[in-house]
Structure 1
Amino acid sequence: MSPSLVLGGRYRVAELLGRGGTADVHRGLDLRSGHWVALKILHRHLAQDPLVVARFRREARVAAGLGHPSIAAFLDTGYDEVPDDSGNAVRVPFIVMEHVAGWSLRDLLRMGGLSPGKAIQYQVGVLAALEFTHRAGVVHRDIKPANVMIAAEGAVKLVDFGIARGSGDPAATMTHARAFLGTPVYLSPEQARGEIADARSDLYSAGCLLFELLTGRPPFLGDDPVSIAYQHVHEEPPRASAHHRDLTPAVDAVLARALAKAREDRFQSARAFTDALRSAARSLVHHDAGARAGALDHHVPMALATGTHVGRAALCG
């Protein structure tokens, strides 16, 4: 994408932040406000596929309806004529989001992991976002470290609603046979079976996220997506305390419930998950006290409301 390109007569395209299967994310300059934004631009070769375009437009509609401090803010959407490799103009849709100057949880894990206190603090922010989205009737369906941004001041921002659906939507499972929507490492058992995803499916994925934040590895690993999906359906996860000496049976109990195979055995709301996690956090003794205080606060830290910039590859779909 040319750095001289201006989308919609307003957004100047800057450097590439990340590339996904359906879209690229660039940093962009809003020429009206002078603020940096994140521009999610559908790949040109997909712009004439009506199903892909419909999904992209649905993502914009979902994002536009979700205003919360722990969710990257939707700003605008539109179309523009973009030249392809042959010089022909292609009408390409784009989404404009808040640009978060920071790192994804995937980045932080690759840098060497987190203390239990920081892991819990960030998880509380993710659960705050999910509590809001679920009350709005939206299931994210792709909770994973790459889709959680941490701004420089510590704000948690959930991003990428590219495969989000309304609760109970019969299409909220797989695109076609053996093609999983969502990332297999964080997939709920019901999604692996091709069943309809609901809020408790997101909470299972959030349980996988918490396990990885605390231990440095997901609960299930395998050589291919099918083997990982099989484990989600049939095998019990390991105890997190077996992978980190500072974790306690209380934390193991929270994860065991979050990762229950049957939806009815899991936490039934993000609020219930949060409350149980705060209680379990009190049993931790070897972690940063300041991070624990943030996790135990009954509100998302005020820093969550001040993030101004979505970066890296988090918005790519």
Structure 2
Amino acid sequence: MKTHLGHYDIVAELGRGGMGVVYKGYESSLNRYVAIKVLAESLAHDESVKERFLREARSMASLNDPHIIQIYFIGEHEGQTFFVMEFVEGESLGSLLKRDGKLRPEQAARVIYQTAQGLATAHDKGVIHRDIKPGNLMVTSRGAIKIADFGIALVTQDFSKKLTSTGEFVGTPGYLSPEVCLGKPVDSRSDIFSLGIVLFEMLTGRMPFTDESPLGLMLEVVRAEIPDVRQLNNDVDAELSRILSRMIAKDPNERYNNCHELAEDLSRHPLLAGAPTIGVKPLISTAAATVIGMKTPVSAQRPLPQTVPTPRPGQFNAGTAAAPMPVAGRFGAGPLRRECLDAGVRGAHPDRRVSGATTRAR
């Protein structure tokens, strides 16, 4: 295991997935900690995967917003492609929800407001995230939201390119918009739908769609009615329920036209009065909690223990510590694809790993 990449010292492993590993690093020249995303060696020779990996860095580097994790550097070291990001002291919204179940309405509204501001910046630059979910929203120790993982972001200029070709899609079932599930054109309103599902989950402690299979989730997104949030949480007021309903409308034309409209609508809600911070304290891991400005601990300068090899996309590895990253693909021939086509869902690829009877969600 390497103890450095370029001029960055490796401090700890933060997580790993289907495309590679994320480390906490230390940049001594600037006396700061960073997050380093490294493409798996097993995928380094796959040019399409490498292109998508680097596209995440390029997409994020083009965006300058306090609610989007910033990119510092893209490089290669001894054949390993990597990029360096802002290190966020905090935890993902997904982790927070697993621990706390749900948030208070004012907390949830502020998460959505901050995320909408970040997405508005991305959309203005022609970048559609396409994988908005709790796991990709970081809650900082100061109560701010940072959007992460633009690995499958769609740039408007990429519509004709191979990575976004017709018949392929990437994302996470349950958060995908109906137009994604149906293989229809996608724009910024698709991110608004996904963000609406996140709001529903924060308010109720559950997803609106309950099927256990990826295909079933996609079919529910297209066909099923979303439960009334106020029947599941009577603390939700009518105005917040109205905003949520507009975000998750099945027809994109019935949603907010853009995140600027969404943020403006939310800003008028009394729940947004006062400080914009979320008011929740994230649980900071030992690896993440190192005080910025301190020297790299001696223990972190020693070689890290050998970890489970990063699996290739499509494999399931019981020892993998973190959820897999999204990988573009298609259903093969067979009953699943026929059922999908019968329902009008084309080009589906569940962002889950399946091995035998075991399904592991992101």
| Counterpart-to-counterpart distance in 2, 1:191 and 1:240 | 24
After TM superposition, the structure 1 stretch with the greater mean CA deviation from structure 2, 250-259 or 162-171, is 162-171
Residue 218 (structure 2) aligned to one of 202, 207, 229: 229
Q: 1:294 to 1:236 in 2, by over 3 A?
A: farther
Residue 272 (structure 1) aligned to one of 246, 261, 265: 261
Give how far 1:173 is off: 11
TM alignment of 1:137-216, pairs within 5 A: 137-167=126-156, 169-170=158-159, 180-216=169-205
Residue 26 (structure 1) aligned to one of 7, 11, 23: 23
* Long gaps (5+) in structure 1: 82-90, 285-290, 302-309
The AA in structure 2 aligned to 1:207 is: G
Q: 1:266 to 1:93 in 2, by over 3 A?
A: same
* Long gaps (5+) in structure 2: 279-286, 290-321, 327-362
**Residue in structure 1 matched with residue 85 of structure 2 by the alignment:** 97
The AA in structure 2 aligned to 1:108 is: L
The AA in structure 2 aligned to 1:76 is: F
Deviations 1:82-104 (A, max 9, x none): xxxxxxxxx12101000001011
**Residue in structure 2 matched with residue 117 of structure 1 by the alignment:** 106
Q: 1:168 to 1:220 in 2, by over 3 A?
A: farther
Q: 1:173 to 1:198 in 2, by over 3 A?
A: farther
- TM-score (ref. length: structure 1): 0.83
Deviations 1:142-201 (A, max 9, x none): 101011111111121111110001137436998789874111111011111122321001
CA contact (8 A) 1:172 1:196 kept: no
Give how far 1:221 is off: 2.2
**Residue in structure 1 matched with residue 275 of structure 2 by the alignment:** 294
**Residue in structure 2 matched with residue 305 of structure 1 by the alignment:** none
CA contact (8 A) 1:40 1:316 kept: no
Count of residue pairs the alignment pairs up: 285
CA contact (8 A) 1:147 1:159 kept: yes
CA contact (8 A) 2:189 2:258 kept: yes
Q: Which SS does the other structure have where 1:69 is aligned?
A: coil
Aligned-pair identity (%): 37
Give how far 1:292 is off: 4.9
CA contact (8 A) 2:18 2:324 kept: no
Q: 1:293 to 1:173 in 2, by over 3 A?
A: farther
| Counterpart-to-counterpart distance in 2, 1:202 and 1:168 | 18
| Counterpart-to-counterpart distance in 1, 2:173 and 2:65 | 27
